[in-house]
Homo-oligomer: A and B are copies of this chain.
């Protein structure tokens, strides 16, 4: 087996996270970043080697919002090399559902529960405005 390793884009996961109270839809959960780039973002983060994307997205949601979510489906994959100002990051986006009260995680990000009509599109970082637009228009 070869020992050469390819240099591929960095890999992240993000969640379009819907919050429910029984059968009532309460809104979607966004986090406010305390590190650059500043702004609102979908819950998510980099994938570690050795973990599946499904585990990674549920772990990130838990860490950032305190919520135990369920994955509903794969929404899309975003790979424009300019979507992250730092380096090339490909994001795999899942639709997730959760119940309960979101709380800011250990990394002290603030969390926001937002009605679909109140999404702050102009304050979303990366291409998260496009991701949410694709979701809303699908």
Interface residues of chain A, those whose CB is within 8 Å of chain B, are 1-2, 5-12, 35-36, 46-54, 74, 76-77, 79-81, 85-88, 90, 92
Contact = CB atoms under 8 A, between A and B. Distances in A.
Given A74-B74, A79-B54, A6 B1 contact: no
A87 B12 CA distance: 18
Contacts of A54: 79
Interface of A, secondary structure class, is loop
B81 A53 contact: no
B11 A49 contact: no
B50 A88 contact: yes
Contact of A11 (B11, B36, B50, B85): B11
Given A8-B47, A51-B81, A52-B81, A1 B74 contact: no
- Give the interface centre of A35, A81, A90, A92 by most chain B CB atoms within 10 Å: A90
27 contacts: A1-B36, A1-B85, A1-B86, A2-B86, A6-B10, A6-B46, A7-B48, A8-B11, A8-B12, A8-B46, A8-B47, A8-B48, A8-B49, A9-B11, A9-B47, A11-B90, A47-B79, A50-B81, A50-B88, A52-B79, A52-B80, A53-B79, A53-B90, A54-B79, A74-B76, A74-B77, A77-B92
